[in-house]
Each structure stands twice: as C-alpha cells, then as structure tokens.
Chain A
C-alpha cells in the first residue's frame, strides 16, 4: 500500500483534522474526541498492529502554535513495513485522553512515561504512576516551562559525613 492510499483510507473512515507527508512519513492529526475509535480502526482494519512509541511535544514557545500539547502515537504495520504517526492536539485544562492499553499492552509503560514527563492523564489506565522519576517528584519535567536544572529537587537529600556513617 502506498503512503497516499493509507492516508486516504484513514481519511475515509475517521474524522481527520489534517494529514500530511514529510520525507516519506505520513502524519495524521486526529481530534481528541475520536482518538480511541481512530486507534481502534487503524489497528483492526488497516493492520497497524505494532505500537512503536507514545510521546508528546510541548508547543509552548513555538512560533505560530495553536495548541499546547501534541500527543504522538507512532504505529507500524509489521506485515508490510508501513509506518504512520497519529497526533492529537491537547490544551490545558483538558489533558485527559482515553488509554490505549486495551488495544496494545505495551502502551502501559509508554503512557506512564508521558504522564510522568508531561502530565497528560490517561483515563482507564490500570496503574498510572511515575515511572522514571521518584514518586515524590512534583512537577512534569519535559514541559517547556520547567527549567533544565530543576527546581531544587535534585539536591534535597541528607548529607552523610564521615563520623556518622
């Protein structure tokens, strides 16, 4: 299947906000309400059975951005090596999307990472807690308004000296 036919197949079946192609890679932007049905359709009918990654982009300082977060699902079809990117644009305060765990088990950890780093909630997720950072950490570090050096969490530990340890 050529890339354009995948694009047209997706556009025929789900309401798509936009779809474009860059360097041979197809990207489809889906509105947030139809995310779950879009993922299900793409998995069952078009055969994209491998969820490669779920990640997110924060467009806070981007010129000409209309929405703040773009949640990205990278999907691949293992039988004919096609890849497609599904993107959902999200804005505060509606940062909740349905979880993809019923469709792909691997989405469990991927969504935990997105929650940890960006703060996007996945409703229906069995175990949504921090995966990479300690549980006591407050903020969501990969947002653009969080500084690189952190806000003092990294040095908030007791000091061991030679006498007591």
Chain B
C-alpha cells in the first residue's frame, strides 16, 4: 500500500476512494455561525470542500421594502453583528449618496472613528475565536477584555453595547460628549502596546507553530 501522497495519487488503480467525505455540519463550533461544508479528506488534509449556505438567511432585503431609511439602520446592525457600527455607517453613506446630502465634517470624523473602533473589536473577536477553536484560549479572554473597553465607549456614546443604530440620514444620533472623547483617547496609547503584546499569545501559539 503506497504511503506517500505522491505515490497514492500516481497509483492508477487506486482511484479516489481513499478520500473520505465528511459533513462539517451546520452546527459546528468552528464554523461559528451556520455554514455547512461537505469535505473530502485525505487523512487530515482537506482535498475538496463544497460549501452549503442559507442557514442564516433572514430576508433582510425583503424587510427593507417596508421600512424607511432611518428604520432600516436597525436591521443593518444585525448583518455583521460583530462590528455593527461599520454597517450603520455604510448604509447611511449609501443613502446619503442617493439623496445627495453631504454630512458635516464633524459627522464624517465621528463616523470614521466609530467604524474604526468597530473594526478593531471585530478583529479582536475573530482572532480570539481562531484561538478558541484551536485551543489558544488566553488570547480570547484578553481580546475580550479589550472588546469590553470598546463596548464601554459605545455604551457611553449611544446607550447600547452593540447593535447600536447610531447613524441617521445626514448625521448621527448623538454628538460625542467630552466624556466619550476622553474614554476613547485615554486607553488608546496603551491599547496598542497591549494588543501587540497579547498577539504574541496567538501568533506564537503551539498549535500554529507546530503546523508550520
């Protein structure tokens, strides 16, 4: 029986029946939300993957036919619910382009700041989840601590930790108060060093290094 991959693949009589079809089902921790993959495996190596989607299709587009622009922003929150502020900004950017309204410079700065904070929290969660699945649990906890700090900023800004429908046509819901500005500015310098330090826990994690 040939043992190396090259020998197996080159063996003409063998065919492809050593490949094992596995249903990586819609409920699986590593897929986080619901994605179904039909995998063809050769031992531990994935040879082919056919995805099957639709397990979280909620009819967002059809809902949009019944709501107006400021109501629909609550639905856009739930699309990528890990960084909802960014979705709100994107939605109202498109609406304002359609209507022909230009928001003020202050509003544009506020929107950029909140969507970048949302992006940071999104990356923290996604890298933390990678670590969680593989077993490098430490980064998940520390990353969530950083995320909680960002949640505090959002809560001081508009009242909700996430799925805050913060933008409106032509502007945002509330202006930034000095408290919020201080909350963003104060930990920012240390946050960069902290994340750089903590990312070592995932980049140098044994589970990844062993697979290099």
Contact = CB atoms under 8 A, between A and B. Distances in A.
Partners in one complex: yes
Interface of A: 23, 117, 130-134, 141-142, 144, 148
Chain A contact surface mostly: loop
B2 interface: no
Interface string B26-55: 000000000000000000000000000110
Contacts of B59: 141, 148
Interface in B146-201: none
A114 to B, nearest CB: 12
Interface in B39-85: 53-54, 57, 59, 61-63, 65-66
Q: How large is the interface on B (under 10, 10 to 19, 20 to 34, 35 or more residues)?
A: 10 to 19
A148 B62 contact: yes
B55 to A, nearest CB: 9
16 contacts: A23-B100, A117-B61, A130-B54, A131-B53, A131-B54, A132-B53, A132-B57, A133-B54, A133-B57, A141-B59, A142-B61, A142-B62, A148-B59, A148-B62, A148-B63, A148-B66
A23 B54 contact: no
Contacts of A23: 97-98, 100
Contacts of A144: 65
B62 A141 contact: yes
A52 B167 CA distance: 26
B39 to A, nearest CB: 18
Given A23-B97, A23-B100, A141-B59, A148 B65 contact: yes
Contacts of B66: 148
Interface in B94-113: 97-98, 100
Contacts of B54: 130-134
A117 B66 CA distance: 17
A148 B66 CA distance: 9
Given A131-B53, A132-B53, 10 more contacts: A23-B100, A117-B61, A130-B54, A132-B57, A142-B62, A144-B65, A148-B59, A148-B62, A148-B63, A148-B66
A158 to B, nearest CB: 18
A102 to B, nearest CB: 21
Contacts of A134: 54
Contacts of A131: 53-54
Contacts of A132: 53-54, 57
